[in-house]
Amino acid sequence: MEEIKGFDLINLQEIPIEETSLDFVPKAFDDYLGQKDLKEKLKIYTQAAKMRKEPLDHMLLFGPPGLGKTTLSQIMASVMEVNIKICCGPLLERTGDLVAILSGLEPRSILFIDEIHRMPTVVEEILYNAMEHFKIDVIIGQGAGAKSITLPVSPFTLIGATTKAGMISAPLRTRFGITERLDFYEPEDLAKIIKQSSKFLQFSITDEAALKIGICSRGTPRIAKKLLRRVRDYVQVQNKSSIDIQETEKALEFLGIDKNGLSTIDNLLLQQIIEKFNGGPVGLETLASIIGEDKDTIEDVYEPYLLRLGYLEKTPRGRQIPSKMQTKLKQKFVGQISLL
């Protein structure tokens, strides 16, 4: 596939990620922090495939966004010393797009498709024969004169990434030989990632400050790195040469993040359930209307963290705050003026 100025013509995604990234991008498993059990499995899988000089078995990686699915795929390609092609499922709108990519793959290459659950069904069906037999069926012509031809493709590895494994069709799911889940990170692991990123950014941070940011990062490395950059902005404007716990707490407060890692929207959501519905239950659409957020945003962005920390629970009648949390939150919000 022809490339111009480092961009892939199929998905307009920049190829040399490491040259433009503002964050540290691990190149080896030892540099990738967290996901210990999964990392050990992937080491075995990639090393075995490399020893046999065969493509890695097709793999499905699923889990919440920002946990490192793309990075792990790049590391596997680096370890196996093969090329990796990165594209996004929703952008593969036509069968010809996928056929062009598959035809251009070199032997043992990795094809990484992000958000694979959003790939059109007609495009997905091209993958079935390609994954099993390394062949693709192409229709040439139209109407009565149309005919089907079969084209061989180089043996390759498909790595599909998704945040919604349940939306993967059964025919596609059964063709993955390896299925692994990425879990949320512990604050201690996130603190190590923050320290690693701070070295890349050439800015020092204390262990205590790194842990504080880790606690507020919702178990997600992508959020941890984003918060680190914003805290760095705040500290630099204050003419400080390093990030300590005091400046970190001030910066997080400035960003609207409390000591428990809850954002302004998190607190607003909980406050409205307490004040207007006495702790719930309340329907998702009603809640979305009250706080002025899209219901899908609440469900995908804010709810998972609140559910994981025990601040919120789902019931057949709607969302509610567990009784053991209601007293704590009422004390927290007492005396506050409602934001609505």
pLDDT in tens, 32-78: 999 999 999 999 999 999 999 999 999 999 999 999 999 999 999 99
pTM beyond cutoff 0.85: no
Q: What is the DSSP letter of 2?
A: -
Concerning whether 240 is annotated as a catalytic residue, the answer is no
Same domain (yes/no): 204, 311: no
Same domain (yes/no): 309, 171: no
Contact yes or no for 49/289 (Cβ under 8 A): no
Contact yes or no for 184/67 (Cβ under 8 A): yes
Measured distance CA(23)–CA(197) in Å, rounded: 6
Catalytic residue among 163, 189, 218, 248: 163
Residue 175 lies in a domain: yes
Nearest to 227 by CA among 240, 212, 246: 212
Residue 339 lies in a domain: no
Same domain (yes/no): 53, 76: yes
pLDDT band at 3 (very low <50, low <70, confident <90, very high): very low
Residue 248 lies in a domain: yes
Same domain (yes/no): 25, 160: yes
Same domain (yes/no): 171, 23: yes
- Please say if the pLDDT value at position 165 is more than 60: yes
Concerning whether 207 is annotated as a catalytic residue, the answer is no
Concerning whether 70 is annotated as a catalytic residue, the answer is yes
Handedness of CA 219, 221, 222, 224 (dihedral sign): positive
Q: Which of 254, 287, 307 is the last residue of a domain?
A: 254
Catalytic residue among 46, 69, 95, 232: 69
Same domain (yes/no): 143, 283: no
Residue 77 lies in a domain: yes
Phi, psi of 22 (to 5 degrees): -90, -5
Concerning whether 163 is annotated as a catalytic residue, the answer is yes
Q: Which of 139, 155, 181 is the last residue of a domain?
A: 181
Q: What is the CATH number of the domain that holds 249?
A: 1.10.8.60
Please enumerate in sequence order all residues whose Cβ is within 8 A of that of 192, keeping only pairs 6 or more positions apart, or say none: 33, 34, 210
Same domain (yes/no): 241, 278: no
Nearest to 98 by CA among 81, 85, 79: 85
Same domain (yes/no): 19, 56: yes
Residue 338 lies in a domain: no
Range of the domain at 237: 187-254
Catalytic residue among 27, 39, 43, 70: 70
Top-confidence residue, 70 or 25? 70
Q: Which of 181, 202, 236 is the last residue of a domain?
A: 181
The CA-to-CA distance between both ends of the chain, in Å, stands at: 54
Same domain (yes/no): 174, 29: yes
Residue 296 lies in a domain: yes
Contact yes or no for 222/213 (Cβ under 8 A): no
Domain count, the chain: 3
Catalytic residue among 50, 173, 222, 226: 222
What's the pLDDT score for residue 240? 79
Catalytic residue among 8, 114, 189, 266: 114
Q: What is the pLDDT of residues 298-328, one digit of tens each?
A: 888 888 889 888 899 998 888 999 888 888 8
Q: Give the tokens for residue 292.
A: 């002025």
Concerning whether 95 is annotated as a catalytic residue, the answer is no
Q: What is the CATH number of the domain that holds 75?
A: 3.40.50.300
